[in-house]
Amino acid sequence: MKKKANIDTSEKVIAIRGLKKSFGSLTVLRGVDLNIYKGENLVVLGRSGTGKSVLIKIISGLLKADEGSVKVLGEEVGELSPKELDALRLKIGFSFQNSALYDSMTVYENLEFPLIRNVRNLTRKEINVAIEEALEDVGLSQTIHQMPSQLSGGQRKRIGIARTLILKPEIMLYDEPTAGLDPITSGEINNLINQVQEQHNTTSIIITHDLTCAKTTGDRIAMLLDGQFQRQGSFEEVFASDEERVKQFYEYNFID
Amino acid sequence: MNKTDTQDGSKRVSRINRFFLDLHDVFLFVVRIFKEAFLPPYEFKEIVKQCFEVGVKSLPLISLTGFITGIVFVNQSRPSLSEFGAVSWLPSLIAIAIVRALAPLVTSLIAAGKVGSNIGAELGSMNVTEQIDAMEVSATNPFKFLVVSRVIATTTMIPILTVYTTMLALLGGFINIHQHEATSFQTYFTQVFNTVTFTDVFASLAKSIVFGFTIGAVGCYKGFHSSKGTEGVGKAANTSVVLSMFLIFIEELLSLQIVMALIS
């Protein structure tokens, strides 16, 4: 069970109102409303194709919303200029489903990439220290000179998280952090997500359909059904529902 | 008119619509390349890296092909010229053929196969595995970093490779002529340089700049817009090569008309 986090409910880090998004004739988000508070880990649950990843891509500005308002750290994402959006993105860490490590670069170069491009006047020594610290955070210092192709799935996920942590983000967005991993490695990733929240005081959105991940990492669970958040609350509150689809979701997951 | 005719008709219209929409996308893509190439920040390190990838790594293949082109061209031309007793014109003939057409074409076609497919596959796979998105969320402009640097690299390196191919093809031609006609190195190259005009050299370089831009832009466009999935990566690599080669031949034809108009 997750330790109680230090959540400041007076400070909304992300505020979403009436968010709608369609792809051609397929509508995935049908008026989403959501608040995420400082220091909170929010888990978004839902079946594949329900728009969970679309939601965090809109928050990070990778996709544009059709309608509605998305405020991140007080700024309306859809109205920012490219320069302002880049400045906001430095405060957001995005951990991709497949890690998205740059294949042609070593682990060191992967971590160096966002740092040297966004933080000016760093000495080589400062860069090395930052990279070593980020790798220590995820427990993978020994992989520093390896290529992504030499790493296991779990290691790739961790390095992906380390790459986002190097810029010390205020918000972390995790897209299916445990997808495709064995239960033990999934457990390690879940612990890492909690460790990041504690050490860096980040606010996180965790997209998953793994209930173990949801229970271990989430301070609050929001369930996306029919393009809207229809159930929100603690893990127990959400799954106390009699609704067939929620029960099905629970029953198809193996959970203690 | 029956229902099948109506469906065929609307399919044709949607295909035509898609063609023009694609053309519009390509136009915007090319405009963006020019715009972002001149605006700071400049990705010098990545441009140098890509120049190395395009230029140095293509050298062995280009060297061999250029050299063989010279030998084969001389071999194939000798019988025709000897019928008219004009074998002594071989150096002039090879000079014109290599400088005006063969060197830029051979270099660009080889580069389209090697570099174009590489760019298409690399960017396509980066797109599929969300590496381009990862670059964007870390506040790096992926278009400038990936596309502009590659297009600049191909646009600058293909003309340099063309000059290199020209020299090797002329050398290959010399070896063949020297073996058969015992022409000296000095005589051969004097005749070569007396034949080639400034317009020939200028046209050759101008053409290879256009070919280089085409290879880079097509590879990047196809890779950057590849559909998700491994099939999309293969398709991006394949269409990069086919489309680049097709456009190179069209551009060759157009440049020939322009050069002929200039000369006349």
Lowest model confidence (mean pLDDT) among A9-13, A147-151, A205-209, A218-222: A9-13
* Start-end of H helices in B98-229: 103-111, 117-128, 131-137, 142, 149-181, 185-195, 198-224
Structural domains in chain A, CATH included, are 8-251 (3.40.50.300)
Q: How confident is the model at residue A3 (pLDDT cuts 50, 70, 90)?
A: low
Q: Is the Cβ pair A100, B140 closer than 8 Å?
A: no
Q: In what order do the strands lie in the sheet with A228-233?
A: A92-95, A171-175, A203-208, A41-45, A220-225, A228-233
State the Cα–Cα distance between residues A107 and A224, nearest whole angstrom: 35
Chain A residue at shortest CA distance from B132: A100
Question: How close is the nearest chain A Cα to the Cα of B63, in Å?
Answer: 27
Predicted confidence at residue A253, as pLDDT, reads 66
pLDDT of A172 over the 60 cut: yes
State the Cα–Cα distance between residues B114 and B61, nearest whole angstrom: 9
Q: Is the Cβ pair B129, A98 closer than 8 Å?
A: yes
Predicted confidence at residue B6, as pLDDT, reads 62
Whether A95 has its CB under 8 Å from any CB of chain B: the answer is no
pLDDT of A241 over the 80 cut: no
Q: What are phi and psi of B11, to 5 degrees?
A: -65, -45
Predicted confidence at residue B52, as pLDDT, reads 96
pLDDT of A255 over the 60 cut: no
Predicted confidence at residue B17, as pLDDT, reads 84
**β-pair type (A171-175, A220-225):** unpaired
The terminus-to-terminus CA distance of chain B in angstroms comes to: 54
Size of interface A-B (CB pairs under 8 A): 52
Chain A residue at shortest CA distance from B125: A103
Question: Which chain A residues are Cβ-neighbours of B140 within 8 angstroms?
Answer: 113-114, 117
Q: Is the Cβ pair B134, A96 closer than 8 Å?
A: yes
Of A88, A115, A66, A114, which is closest to residue A13 (Cα–Cα)?
A88
pLDDT of A116 over the 60 cut: yes
Predicted confidence (pLDDT) per residue in B7-63, tens digit? 666 777 788 888 888 889 999 999 999 999 998 888 999 999 999 999 999 999 999
Question: Which chain A residues are Cβ-neighbours of B137 within 8 angstroms?
Answer: 60-62, 89, 92, 94
At A52, is the secondary structure helix, strand, or coil?
A: helix
The DSSP element (H or E) to which A69 belongs, if any, is strand A67-72
Q: Exposed (0-12), middle (13-18) or buried (19+): which is A25, by Cβ within 10 Å?
A: exposed
Q: Exposed (0-12), middle (13-18) or buried (19+): which is A82, by Cβ within 10 Å?
A: exposed
Whether B121 has its CB under 8 Å from any CB of chain A: the answer is no
Question: How close is the nearest chain A Cα to the Cα of B100, in Å?
Answer: 38
Question: Which chain B residues are Cβ-neighbours of A61 within 8 angstroms?
Answer: 137
Give the residue, A145 or B14, on which the prediction is more confident: A145
Q: Is the Cβ pair A118, B139 closer than 8 Å?
A: yes
Question: Which chain A residues are Cβ-neighbours of B134 within 8 angstroms?
Answer: 94, 96, 100-102
Give the residue, B6 or A251, on which the prediction is more confident: A251
CA dist A49 → A142, A209, A227, B22 (Å): 37, 11, 10, 27
Q: Is the Cβ pair B139, A62 closer than 8 Å?
A: no
Q: Which residues of B246-260 are buried (b: 16+ CB within 10 A; e: fewer)?
A: ebbeebbeebeeebe
Helix/strand/coil percent split, chain B, to 5:
90, 0, 10
Average pLDDT of the residues in A6-15: 83
Predicted confidence at residue A256, as pLDDT, reads 47
Nearest CB to B140; choose among A94, A117, A163: A117
Q: Is the Cβ pair B133, A118 closer than 8 Å?
A: no
Lowest model confidence (mean pLDDT) among A2-16, A35-49, A203-217: A2-16
Chain A residue at shortest CA distance from B128: A100
Q: Is the Cβ pair B130, A92 closer than 8 Å?
A: no
Q: How many CB atoms lie within 10 A of CB A191?
A: 12
Chain A residue at shortest CA distance from B137: A89
Locate B200 and state its tokens. Answer: 């020939």
Question: Which chain B residues are Cβ-neighbours of A92 within 8 angstroms?
Answer: 137
Please list the ranges in chain B whose pLDDT falls under 50: none
Q: What is the mean pLDDT of chain A?
A: 90
DSSP letter at A255 equals -
Whether B14 has its CB under 8 Å from any CB of chain A: the answer is no
Predicted confidence at residue A66, as pLDDT, reads 95
Whether A239 has its CB under 8 Å from any CB of chain B: the answer is no
Share of chain B above pLDDT 70, in %: 96
Predicted confidence at residue A245, as pLDDT, reads 78
CA dist B122 → B24, B129, B171, B215, B220 (Å): 24, 11, 35, 14, 9
The terminus-to-terminus CA distance of chain A in angstroms comes to: 11
